Chain A
Amino acid sequence: MNVFALLFVVVGLGLIGWLTARARAVRFDRGGQKRLHSLPSQHGWYVAMWTVLPALLFVAAWTALSPALIRDQVLKAPAAAQLSDFAFERDTILGEARDVALGRADSTFDPTADALVAPMREAIAFYGWTGTAIAILLAFAGGAFAFSRISPAFRARTRVERGLMLILLVASLIAILTTIGIFLSLFWESIRFFAMVPPQDFLFSTHWSPQLIDPNNPGKSLGAVPLFWGTFFIGAVIAMLVAIPFGLMSAIYLTQYAAPRVRAWMKPMLEILAGVPTVVYGYFAALTVAPAVRDLAVHLGMPFASAESALAAGLVMGVMIIPFVSSLADDSIAAVPTAMRDGSLAMGATNSETISRVLLPAALPGVVAGVLLAVSRAIGETMIVVMAASGAANITLNPFESATTVTKQIVDLLTGESEFDSPKTLAAFALGLTLFVITLLLNIVALRVVKKYREAYE
């Protein structure tokens, strides 16, 4: 049975459990021999919990495990005897047979896979129905057990609340699990990558051309320094040259000068700018900004200027970051005690003198932290560079030349058709790990600065 249908049935059983248990508790109440300890609906929740939770846990475990069980069963079939021992090839053929058996594909490429479709279909049906049967049985058993415990003196509320607390705890642990999952999955694939390519080649060599990998020495064409430089140049230099002055000045103007009515219109406008999806910025960069930048370069005397220049991607990325810088600067300026501002104004300083000599120095740690967060966001930004930057890995200081970034290369490496085990594909995970570690460090430093600074004035 379909997993979604099964979930539906289990939740339906839970609802029935809730209704019957509640009805029974209400009857106790009406009987009036003894006062109920818990409300009838709490008895209902107790039974519903016992019906749904064990069955759901089982379904989750079964969905994860059954592919392995199905595989083992199929390998026992006579048709599987002629499969090669080579694991990768065998898995590809099994995958094909599974897709046909599930109706995801119409036919197989490999004739050996054809013979496996029937055993595969049998195994899938067998394990599917076994799983369904066990899940429904578990739901009934859990519900019956809980139902049998209901009595006027039964402390249903305490039990339900204990169960609920456990669910809350598990929900909050998912954040940690995600972090660990990200780290482990990146780390694992990166280790496989570094078994093929020496880390020093990857980190310090300056030649990047993943299209032409020499199988004997893959490290020779997988040196990521040009990508690191391109990422830094586009995200941390060009984009910040746009975002910092514009973001900071908008924040200052909106908090210190603008009339309330102007602010009421301008702040949502900046929020809209922040809500435009990056694919739209990317399209805009590729369609409008990049040709304009190239025309400018030709005008400036560079006849062979690239249409995929670092400048076009960096400019648009900077605009994208403006609202982000502006709102963080806004927060840290607002956190400066008004007494400092009033004191400066009372001494006769003009508004601009107060801002540049009192407010900004006092807010500087917060602003710096905001800039760090903005840099971390810019270097992780993907769609703008995928659509507007080039794939050519150059180390250049000329913004009109093309440069490529880590994120662009990850997308390029993973969207081509290639097998999962090649150094080319695994390089994407190594790049991802580098990106993750760098953004993580930037975030940790920034959050620490913000926290320390906030304590200073509170």
Chain B
Amino acid sequence: MSKRAAPAPVPERTPTDWKGAAMQKRIRRRYAAERRFKLFGMLAVILSAAFLAFLIATMVANGARGFTRSEVALDLDFPKMGLAVDRTHLSTPGADLALSGAGLQDKVEIAAESGGDHSLAANSAWITVRDAIKADPSILGGKRTIWVPASTALEMGARGEGTAAAQADASRLRSAGKLRTGFNWGFFTASNSNDPVAVGIWGALKGSLLTMLVTFLIAFPVGVLAAIYLEEYAPKNRWTDLIEVSINNLAAVPSIIFGLLGLAVFLGTWQIGGHSFGPLLPRSAAVVGGLTLALMIMPVIVIASRNAIKGVPPSIRDAALGIGASRIQVVFHHVLPLAMPGILTGTIIGMARALGETAPLLLIGMRAFIVTAPQGFTDPATVLPVQIFLWSDEVSRGFVEKTSAAIIVLLVFLLTMNGLAIYLRNKFETRW
């Protein structure tokens, strides 16, 4: 027989006095903590939003001026300038060389000094004059007024900044009708230059376009096909696991590592069978950048495509199989079209990431000084983010606003792409 222990006496509990002062105080304290917590959360969101607003406001404030430019009217008396140019040359491809050989640059500069000791026109003004002469050689016979970009100092003066002398120059010229400020179309048609007044983003934009084309043509088909294989056909075994793990890891590898890969594989020296041979592809070219970025965003496309394919309900597959479609037909005729909005959303997000990427492209040499826009995939090229980086390094004051203006253009592209992706996702989000 076992002796049962007597149950411990339950202490008498008085009911909690919720209305009592102690409890009321406690509840007040808890509610205060609740309000504080909520406030912290709100602050976190508001501060993040404020940071974004501040960043965009800074860029717009700095960059808005990059889109305008002042021009000054130059009165040129060509016969007096004494340009020794054979006019028959002016319609030939040698015209540029002939005109610069005749000292056009110096002569335009002298004309632009117009009594003062410093040039009112930008260093690149003679290029505008040269193009005007090439367009109509007959102007060489007489006097002509040509609008050329203003010098950086005068540009500042026209905005009421800069030195007092520059401001005086600006107001004098403006009242004489020799200074005008307008939208800077040259920013979208010109390429890089040493002179901040003359720079434009066209070369970089075209480089970005070519690079993105290569990236898309490789990453999209390969990514989607890989996703189809992994989601629909792959047997569950160690190999498939290995592929999955490497895709997930590649998605998180720092972008600069892809730059090192591109440098070593596409531009490095290879040793095969005792032969060593040089780069497979030309340095600084859009095709190298495109290939490197394609490897970088492929995992993003694979992961997004797999999720989209996973979202198509099995009943669709069963129905197609039931009426006699083959497994390939099921996927290519039914699953893929239904998954396409999701796949496209992921692709757009991946392409936006590639468009904003800088570091890997710096490593593979797409930082060349490009004065003319690239003509093909193998020409030396640069891209918009790299151009922004290069301009940000320039000391000249005029480059600050050009950098910000280029950033605005890049942000407009990226926000449009991201906005399109969000819109597509919301519009085609199907609940099966």
A→B interface (CB under 8 Å): 4, 63-64, 67-68, 71-72, 87, 91, 94-95, 98, 104, 157, 161, 164-165, 167-169, 171-176, 178-179, 181-182, 185-186, 188-189, 245-250, 252-254, 256-258, 266, 268-273, 275-284, 286-288, 319, 322-323, 350-353, 355-356, 373, 376-377, 379-383, 386-387, 407, 410-411, 414-415, 420, 428-429, 432, 435-436, 439-440, 443-444, 447
Contacts and interface: CB of A to CB of B under 8 A. Distances in A.
A271 B349 CA distance: 11
B188 interface: no
Nearest to A249: B44
Interface in B217-235: 221-223, 225-226, 228-230, 233-234
* Ranked 9 nearest A-B pairs via Cβ: A380-B254, A277-B356, A253-B41, A249-B44, A185-B264, A352-B37, A171-B225, A382-B359, A168-B229
Contact of A266 (B45, B47, B359): B45
Nearest to A175: B247
How many chain B residues sit at the interface, stated as a range, is: 35 or more
Contacts of B92: none
A341 to B, nearest CB: 15
B253 A286 contact: no
A436 B252 CA distance: 10
A253 B38 contact: yes
A435 B254 contact: yes
Given A269-B49, A440-B253, A71 B275 contact: yes
B278 A87 contact: no
A387 B362 CA distance: 13
Nearest to B295: A178
13 contacts: A68-B275, A68-B277, A71-B275, A185-B268, A250-B44, A272-B418, A275-B418, A276-B411, A352-B37, A355-B37, A410-B260, A414-B263, A432-B257
Interface of B: 30-31, 33-34, 36-38, 40-45, 47-49, 51-52, 55, 58-59, 62, 221-223, 225-226, 228-230, 233-234, 242-243, 245-250, 252-258, 260-261, 263-265, 268-269, 272, 275-278, 280, 282, 295, 298-299, 302, 326-328, 352, 355-359, 362-363, 367, 377, 385-386, 388-389, 392, 400, 403-404, 407, 410-411, 414-415, 418, 422
B328 A161 contact: yes
A161 B326 CA distance: 9
Given A250-B44, A277-B356, A91 B272 contact: no
B44 A246 contact: yes
Contacts of B47: 246
B228 A429 contact: no
Nearest to B31: A350
Contacts of B298: 174-175, 178
A246 B48 contact: yes
A250 B255 CA distance: 27
B399 to A, nearest CB: 11
A377 B302 CA distance: 20
B363 A182 contact: no
Contacts of A252: 41
A175 B246 contact: yes
A144 to B, nearest CB: 26
Given A169-B229, A246-B47, A272-B418, A373 B252 contact: yes
A247 B121 CA distance: 51
A426 B426 CA distance: 48
A422 to B, nearest CB: 14
A351 B234 CA distance: 45
Contacts of A273: 48, 51-52
Given A178-B298, A410-B363, A447 B228 contact: no
Given A185-B260, A253-B45, 13 more contacts: A172-B229, A175-B299, A176-B242, A245-B44, A257-B41, A272-B415, A275-B418, A280-B410, A287-B392, A352-B37, A379-B254, A411-B363, A428-B260
Contacts of A94: 278
B326 A64 contact: no
Contact of B249 (A164, A319, A351, A444): A444
